[in-house]
């Protein structure tokens, strides 16, 4: 995962300061956290598969999606994938958050990770 994070940081041309920015908890770099969440969501949509620890590959569905040449991919875009819809239906938001903030998170418009936004996701 570390190698992937470094490759992505170079691709996005992040400065050293941007790579070192920490979550409010101080427990992890923001960029590392975002890459982790992206990997998690791509796996839930069956676009990415972990073969073994540290070894990932794009699934046939993921390759098909890439052939459509998307300009960007937001969380709300993943809802077109059956597996991601099923994943979202299987979770429960336990923490109380206002409807506006929840709407922004679900639409991929929040600048916060679920951890930062105070959203606890767990299986039913």
**112 has a pLDDT exceeding 70:** no
Q: What is the tens place of the pLDDT at every residue in 22-63?
A: 999 998 999 999 999 999 999 999 999 998 888 889 999 999
| CA 99 centroid distance within chain | 21
Q: Where are the domains of the chain?
A: 2-123
Residue 31 near residue 9, CB atoms below 8 Å: yes
């Amino acid at each position: 995962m570390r190698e992937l994070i470094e490759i992505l940081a170079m691709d996005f041309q992040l400065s050293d300061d941007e790579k070192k920015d920490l979550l409010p908890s101080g427990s992890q770099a923001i960029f590392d956290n975002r890459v982790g969440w992206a990997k998690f969501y791509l796996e839930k949509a069956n676009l990415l598969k972990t073969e073994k620890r540290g070894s990932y590959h794009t699934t046939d569905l993921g390759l098909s999606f890439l052939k459509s040449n998307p300009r960007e991919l937001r969380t709300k875009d993943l809802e077109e994938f059956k597996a991601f819809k099923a994943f979202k239906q299987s979770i429960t938001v336990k923490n109380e958050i206002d409807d506006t903030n929840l709407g922004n998170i679900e639409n991929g418009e929040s600048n916060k990770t679920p951890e930062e936004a105070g959203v606890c996701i767990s299986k039913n």
